[in-house]
Amino acid sequence: MKRFLIHSVFIFISIASFSQSKINLFLKPSDTLHPTRRNAVIIAEASLATLSLVALDQLWYKDYPRSKFHTINDNNEWLQVDKFGHAYSSYQLGKFGAHALNWSGVSEKNQLIYGATLGFVFLGVVEVFDGFSEEWGFSWGDIGANALGTGLYVGQELLWNEQRIIMKYSFHQTHYAQQSSDVLGNGLSQEFLKDYNGQTYWLSVNLHSFFKNSKIPKWLNLAFGYGAEGMVSDSSDTVTNPFHVDEPYRQFYFSLDIDLSRIQTNSHVLRTLFDVFNMIKVPFPAVEFTDKNGITLHGIYF
């Protein structure tokens, strides 16, 4: 939940900038270094990071006992859906950081060093906070997932100078939250963040980027998703978790998607909007593969 709350703050700032006068010109990335913009980005990100950490400390961690710094091994919890969430958040925050510096005219090298690492650094600090909380603990698994998310963004920029494979997210409500609302949330606004049963994480692959000379639409993607169901606590053991009605099981998905960032437009307002909403998988028919149910077809999958 924490990482999504943090992520939402950055999304809000992106959307709020649309109210600026001469908005299209304002949103156009600078061709050369623009010190005023660069300084504004640094101050804004530092301020947001500080405020977010203070808010987490006061609104989240204060409700739980403090402890000495300790580590935990939570790699087997939630069938690793939470680890995909860490990778997704790190990827998207890094993407935001790089794009913000690109808007400022910062060199590509510095975009990757100081922008694309935003998610890894910030989520790493949050992980340290967990290390001093008796409820949780510092997780090397979470750190590894954060590194994978950042690495996916940076690696593609170094290899291809573009994002051919995008991490995306989708969500649908499930009945499991009714069995354990204190853990999985009560109502859509909470379940969206807390119910891992309804979360699906996607690798959305742009086809045209791999076949430059083809007639494949530039915006058409193939998407490969991962999720899980049957979980009402962080334990996957039905013996220790009496709430379970179903044995937890993994879900794999195949679907189509749209890379909104590749839709041609001269409007920087639309480009910014497309970039923001490109974090979410576009609903499409999907094929689900599980050991429990075999192959399931979904007319529209969220």
Residue 176 has pLDDT above 50, yes or no: yes
Q: Give the model confidence (pLDDT) of 134-169 as tens digits.
A: 989 999 999 999 999 999 999 999 999 999 999 999
As a whole number of angstroms, the distance between CA 290 and CA 197 comes to 14
End-to-end CA distance of the chain: 19
- What percent of the chain lies above the pLDDT cut of 90? 75
- Phi and psi at residue 185, to the nearest 5°: 100, 160
Considering the chain, what is the average pLDDT of its residues? 90
As a whole number of angstroms, the distance between CA 30 and CA 146 comes to 29
Helix (H) or strand (E) holding 203: strand 199-206
Q: Give the model confidence (pLDDT) of 65-74 as tens digits.
A: 999 999 999 9
Other C-beta atoms lying within 10 Å of the C-beta of residue 231: 26
Residue 234 DSSP code: S
pLDDT band at 29 (very low <50, low <70, confident <90, very high): very high
Please tell me the predicted confidence (pLDDT) of residue 57. Answer: 84
As a whole number of angstroms, the distance between CA 261 and CA 274 comes to 6
Q: Copy the structure tokens of residue 111.
A: 């975009």
Q: Which residues of 265-274 are buried (b: 16+ CB within 10 A; e: fewer)?
A: eeebeebbbb
Picking from 229, 230, 207, 227, the residue whose alpha carbon sits closest to that of residue 217 is: 207
Please tell me the predicted confidence (pLDDT) of residue 10. Answer: 52
SS3 246: coil
